Amino acid sequence: MNAALDTEADRCVLRNPVFTKLGEARFRRAESDGAPVMVIRLGESFAALPLRSLQREFNIKDDSHDGRMLGKIAESLDFVAGLTVGDPLPREVVTGEASWQASPKHQQIAATKLRLQLLDWLDPAIAAKVGRSESSERLESDPKLRAAVQAAFERAAAELGLPNAQAVVELVADIAGELAYIEALRDGLLGRVRAMVQRLDGMSNGTLNQDRKSTLARIRRLAHLALEQIAGRFAEVDGQTREVLSTLRNAEAHRTFIRSHRDWLYRSSRAWSSILAEWDAASMSGLDDAAWARMNRTYQFLAPRFMPVQEWLSPNTQPHVRREKPMAHALVW
């Protein structure tokens, strides 16, 4: 019985007959507003039924098995494109671990940063001599630096009340494993958004008419707000983990903090993926028709997420975008 319950907790399992009698159901987010929906086939077409509406219609309580599972399904859709009944839930929802892998490169970057922080804690003068671009290689190849890092591990073990330096090595590796995801997202999200903003700032508006000048200015403003928000998340993680002894002493609390930011950034990365792919593939040529089509899609992506609510609801701010109804400012990942 317990094994069955454990299996159900890890998978998309629903007991109410409505989830099977209507045919094979797929859970995903609605394209219109991002709400979690159940999609079923009706003849030659498909119907998308909001999960909240299903709960009300069939009196599924939040604290029932199916109510809790629908909550997990909604949360899971932040990390996977869709689920069907019987699918495993993503690890972020089940265990808090990531369902994707950080590369060995990003694992090394994270581990090196922590080692440099330990070295800086023990001997700032030595740490200051290590160039950031060559830090990983030098920490491994320079005998004096290796000895200094080992001394830092031994001193940290005494400070933390751990049995030996190896225990600190293992603790650093554990935290570095969590921070590796942050480093991967620093490249895959922050770096690409920053590159997009730099390209927008570099575009000349000297030959544009007034409407297009205004549009470019609005896109630039929103893009800068987006970059500031995303960069702020990385700054929070960097600031929280900068005091390496505190990070190691309170490893569990820091792990929870890092994972919370990792998941927010990963959700953001998924939301940004298509628009950033367009900018990655775009040529560096001028603002031709294809470029303006990309600019308008960029505006449509940025506006509901970063424009103040009152400004977003004003039709005067969107001369090139027609909406059937206002979108909520809360449409953020």
pLDDT values of the chain reduced to their tens digit, one per residue, 333 residues: 344 444 567 899 999 988 878 778 899 998 878 899 999 888 888 889 899 999 999 999 999 999 999 999 999 999 999 999 899 999 999 999 999 999 999 999 999 999 999 999 998 888 887 766 557 777 777 888 889 999 999 999 999 999 999 999 999 999 999 999 999 999 999 999 999 999 999 887 767 788 888 889 999 999 999 999 999 999 999 999 999 999 999 999 999 999 999 999 999 999 999 999 999 998 776 778 888 999 999 999 999 889 875 555 555 555 444 443 333 333 445
Comparing CA positions, the residue from 107, 72, 110, 69 lying closest to residue 92 is 72
State whether residue 263 is helix, strand or coil. helix
CB 80 within 8 A of CB 90: yes
Q: Could you give the CA distance from residue 92 to residue 78 in angstroms, rounded to a whole number?
A: 10
User: Alpha helix (H) ranges present in 77-130?
Assistant: 91-94, 104-122, 124-128
Is residue 15 a contact partner of residue 60, using CB atoms and an 8 Å limit?
no
Q: Which residues pair with 28 in a beta bridge?
A: 37
Q: What angle (nearest 5°) sits at the alpha carbon of residue 72, between those of residues 176 and 63?
A: 130
- Beta bridge mates, 45: 42
Which are the contacts of 23, defined by CB distance < 8 A and separation ≥ 6?
40, 41
Give the CA dihedral 172, 177, 179, 184, nearest 10 degrees: 140
For 61, other C-beta atoms within 10 Å of its C-beta total 10
Identify the residue whose tokens are 């200015």. Answer: 217
pTM: 0.85
